[in-house]
Amino acid sequence: MTKRFPGLTAAALTLVAAPALAGQPGADWMPMDQVLRKLADAGYGAFQKIEADDGQWEGKATKDGKVVSFIVDPKSGAVTEKVKGEKAGKDGDRDD
């Protein structure tokens, strides 16, 4: 059975066309449409931003009625919510 995500394609096209990408996705990264599908499956919606940055996908979306920031591992698709005040990175450095 194929899941349909109304508006997901339009959102992906809008995000792909956004001029402010911080970096370029790597050749071995999961494509943005798959990232958006993983995020939708995890309960995220109303995507405001998604970009390649610091070796991962980063963005903002709505989840449980709140706007949250997230990071997505570009190879596994694992989704992690960013905690306010923490840098979205694998090194655990703080963004203070």
What 3-state DSSP class applies to 48?
A: strand
DSSP 94: B
The yes-or-no verdict on residue 22 having pLDDT over 50 is yes
pLDDT number for residue 81: 85
pLDDT score, position 18: 44
pLDDT exceeds cutoff 70 at 94: no
Domains of the chain, start order:
8-81 (3.10.450)
Q: How far apart are CA 29 and CA 10, in angstroms?
A: 21
pLDDT digits (tens, 9 = 90+) for 38-89: 999 999 999 999 999 989 999 999 999 999 999 999 999 999 987 655 454 4
Distance CA 96, CA 88 (A): 12
